[in-house]
A and B are shown apart, each in its own frame.
Chain A
Amino acid sequence: GENVEQHPSTLSVQEGDSAVIKCTYSDSASNYFPWYKQELGKRPQLIIDIRSNVGEKKDQRIAVTLNKTAKHFSLHITETQPEDSAVYFCAARERLTGGGNKLTFGTGTQLKVEL
């Protein structure tokens, strides 16, 4: 099955700086890579995703890059703000032989944006 590793586990940046979170996956058949943001006590929220036919995707201050050959993908947050403080999870999706699909998640990165 799929295995997803995520680094770092904690990340502290100054407001206005950039933050980068990296993930690697093991199954070359995985074709979809979402990122979720989870604030304390809340549910994970999908913030951006990338499909395997695309190398980079941007949405305002966040971007995701994918390197299929190396099997790694990254989340980039520019001009960080205090409200970006949260736990971020990467995931990789694999198709199931019986139909459907499932996500395998990384263990999360606690991002803290300091004033």
Chain B
Amino acid sequence: NAGVTQTPKFRVLKTGQSMTLLCAQDMNHEYMYWYRQDPGMGLRLIHYSVGEGTTAKGEVPDGYNVSRLKKQNFLLGLESAAPSQTSVYFCAIGGGRFNEQFFGPGTRLTVL
């Protein structure tokens, strides 16, 4: 898990503001994922990437965009934040020898 970092750890936004969350890994894994976690709803997949330059939609992609220009970084963007996007966001990486998935430390986002 030490190989996955997320920036920032906390953020408060006003409705309509934009921001970008950064996930960085040093484990050279192919797959990267963005989840959101809300009380009672588990972890829901927003977008994912199976390799550098590729992205795809998950279960709850609306209101978010992503990019993976470099293998080690996966960015999640909110163009116009809404209160419904208040959540904890986790990045995860997957692949490697046993194809396990590991999570980053999370970003707590509040939209007022």
Which of A11-19, A40-48, A76-84 sits within the interface?
Answer: A40-48
Which residues of the other chain, B, contact A49 by a CB distance below 8 angstroms? 100
Which residues of the other chain, A, contact B106 by a CB distance below 8 angstroms? 43
Cβ of A65 under 8 Å from chain B: no
A107, B101: Cβ atoms closer than 8 Å: no
Report the number of A-B residue pairs with Cβ-Cβ less than 8 Å.
58
Residue of A36, A89, A101, A106 near B94 (CB, 8 A) is A101
B31, A46: Cβ atoms closer than 8 Å: no
How many residues belonging to A are interface residues under a CB distance threshold of 8 Å? 25
Cβ of B105 under 8 Å from chain A: yes
Q: Given the interface contacts A98-B50, A98-B56, A102-B33, does A44 sit within 8 Å of B103 by beta carbon?
A: yes
| 3 tightest A-B CB contacts, nearest first | A100-B50, A107-B42, A43-B103
Interface on B for A, CB 8 Å cutoff?
A: 1, 30-31, 33, 40-45, 48, 50-51, 54, 56, 58-59, 90, 94, 99-106
